[in-house]
Amino acid sequence: MGQVDPQVRQKVLVFDFGAQYGQLIARRVRDLHVYSEIVPCDLTADEVRALAPAALILSGGPASVYAEDAPNIDPAIFELGIPVLGFCYGHQVTAVALGGEVGHSEVGEYGPATIERDRESALFNSTPLKQTVWMSHRDAVARVPEGFTVTASTSVCPVAAMENPERRIYTTQFHPEVRHTEFGQQLLSNFLFDICGLEPTWTMDNLVETMTADFCAQVGGNRVILALSGGVDSSVVAALGARAVGKQMTCVFINHGLLRKGEPEQVEEVFTKQFDVDFIHVHAEERYAALLAGVTEPEQKRRIIGTQFWKEFFAVAQRLEQDGRPVKYLAQGTIYPDIIESGARKTGGKASTIKSHHNLIPFPEGVSFDLVEPLDHFFKDEVRELGLALGLPEAIVYRQPFPGPGLAIRIIGAVSPEKLGILKNADAIVREELDEYNQRLFEQTGERNSEHSCWQYFCVLPDIKSVGVMGDERTYARPVILRAVESSDAMTADWARLPYEVLARISGRIVAEVPGVNRVAYDITSKPPATIEWE
């Protein structure tokens, strides 16, 4: 294992004053290969010192600095000697904390604005004297604190940027983190590399080394267990664990029979042939089929599948321990957005609770694990990059989102082996065709999730039959519904405007190749008002 560069561990803390752009700031810093994480703005100077950041960035926020419940910053933080960069609210809160003044202006500035400069500033190195920035404010700094100079202004904002280079404090009224700020990334780069003296060492290759070392350090010689679903996050944890501790980790793959065609075989292949872990394939298909027989209500299906999953998992864990070696750790693919949403991030440390949906399942008597959550500070696209760096196949790394209850919630009404067979075959055709369609778009645009690429695509099997004619014969068979959506986060989605020839090909192939299907319909509803899944 290679030596871990201490620079890789250097971090920039983003103080979150309730900004809509908080995550974006962390992303932009990471894009420059410097590690960054978001912390709440009420950290004290002592807490900050304990975290030993290389720099602080104070985000924007919706409040007015003089509002009664306006978020504040511990002024002692500015005495720590750590370089500070502040944007918008972060600019104003710095001014007030250090003895300057913020005033209410008559005219706000929202959107693009032009700043002008008439002096040198390390923050603005390699950028022109006049440049376009993105503003969003009404209040403005009226008087800068002692020791500060104004370095940029607009026609309505006299203090668009101020600085105290001796103390390495630089703040701007505008938002360098948004793309509309022409030289935003250059300013960030100037701050991180020229002013703070950081190195761009947070690269995936370095990370693989650091994370491997961290994984080993955390678990020591103890046994680790992981519920491997075949999805991106758990697969990346499995690949990392394999690299770190090999067969000391057991990956439990519970096959509920509700995965897509070819998936169980692929997961088994990758984690038995390519990665050196202890892989257990639990064939639970028949137990799930029996539990789901005749169940039509979607939430009941979800409950049955979720509960049985943990029963199966704990049964394996308990069986493993019969050899006298306890399983101390549970590895999980929790990612950064899960942590941010759950609010478990004070001090920027590890979350100590299990993901909320896992929490719903009580551990059986006598079962407890410590958690290993190596991805808990990674965004989804970084997890994918890490997966590639660890050598996972693209088919897993770029896998589309797939619900835990699997195909059971894409079969309207009761699940049966016959319906599952039809759905798996139709779904395989849709994936083949739309994977290829996405690949063509990728080659044209260079973007994985470009404007018109499909984000999620699958078939739904409704609980009806319809009349058709094949050859000379009347048929009475099932329709399938094609669902293909464009989205970035599943919160909203639009139906994909697929070319007619692609639709025609999918429909033609499904009817010709999947026995029992005589009709294909396309769902042309967005979310909202519909949802992506049908159940």
Q: Which residues are catalytic?
A: 88, 175, 177
Q: Which residue lies nearer to ligand XMP by CB, 183 or 458?
A: 458
Name residues contacting ligand XMP, limited to 138-197 (CB under 6 A).
none
Tokens 């619900």 appear where?
A: 403
Name residues contacting ligand XMP, limited to 453-472 (CB under 6 A).
456
**Residue 332 sits in the site that holds ligand XMP (CB under 6 A):** no
Q: Residue 523 and residue 230: Cα distance in Å, rounded?
A: 27
Residue from 176, 184, 387, 405 that binds ligand XMP (CB under 6 A)? 405
Name residues contacting ligand XMP, limited to 228-257 (CB under 6 A).
none
CB of 317 to ligand XMP, least distance (A): 22
Q: Which residue lies nearer to ligand XMP by CB, 32 or 354?
A: 354
Residue from 108, 158, 391, 403 that binds ligand XMP (CB under 6 A)? 403
Query: Crossing angle of helices 380-389/232-245, nearest 10°?
Result: 40
**Residue 505 sits in the site that holds ligand XMP (CB under 6 A):** no
- Length of the chain, please? 535
**Residue 533 sits in the site that holds ligand XMP (CB under 6 A):** yes
CB of 487 to ligand XMP, least distance (A): 8
In sequence order, what are the residues at sequence separation of 6 or more whose Cβ sits closer than 8 angstroms to the Cβ of residue 273?
A: none
Name residues contacting ligand XMP, limited to 15-54 (CB under 6 A).
none
Q: Which residue lies nearer to ligand XMP by CB, 277 or 459?
A: 459
Give the binding range for ligand XMP (CB under 6 A) out of 84-92, 177-185, 244-252, 525-533: 525-533
Q: Which residue lies nearer to ligand XMP by CB, 181 or 456?
A: 456
**Residue 490 sits in the site that holds ligand XMP (CB under 6 A):** yes
Tokens 């050196």 appear where?
A: 276
399: left (phi over 0), alpha (psi -120 to 50) or beta: beta
| φ/ψ (deg, to 5) at 135 | -110, 155
CB of 531 to ligand XMP, least distance (A): 3
For ligand XMP (CB under 6 A), the number of binding residues is 11
Looking at 281-416, list the stretches that DSSP marks H as alpha helix, in order from N- to C-terminal side.
285-292, 298-321, 336-342, 356-359, 380-389, 394-397
**Residue 302 sits in the site that holds ligand XMP (CB under 6 A):** yes
Residue from 108, 200, 404, 462 that binds ligand XMP (CB under 6 A)? 404
Q: Which residue lies nearer to ligand XMP by CB, 171 or 456?
A: 456
**CB distance 192 to 29 below 8 Å:** yes
Q: Which residue lies nearer to ligand XMP by CB, 403 or 468?
A: 403
CB of 357 to ligand XMP, least distance (A): 8
DSSP letters of 198-242? ------HHHHHHHHHHHHHHHHTT-EEEEE--SSHHHHHHHHHHH
CB of 63 to ligand XMP, least distance (A): 32
Q: SS3 of 101, please?
A: strand
Closest to 466 (Cα-Cα) out of 511, 523, 418, 407: 511
CB of 109 to ligand XMP, least distance (A): 37
CB of 182 to ligand XMP, least distance (A): 35
Q: Which residue lies nearer to ligand XMP by CB, 285 or 533?
A: 533
Q: Residue 264 and residue 495: Cα distance in Å, rounded?
A: 29
**Residue 361 sits in the site that holds ligand XMP (CB under 6 A):** no
Give the binding range for ligand XMP (CB under 6 A) out of 117-125, 198-206, 317-325, 403-411: 403-411
Q: Residue 486 and residue 6: Cα distance in Å, rounded?
A: 41
Residues 183-196 as b or e (16 or more Cβ within 10 Å = b): bbebbbbbbbeebb
Q: SS3 of 517, please?
A: strand
Interface residues toward ligand XMP, by CB under 6 A: 302, 401, 403-405, 456, 490, 527, 531-533
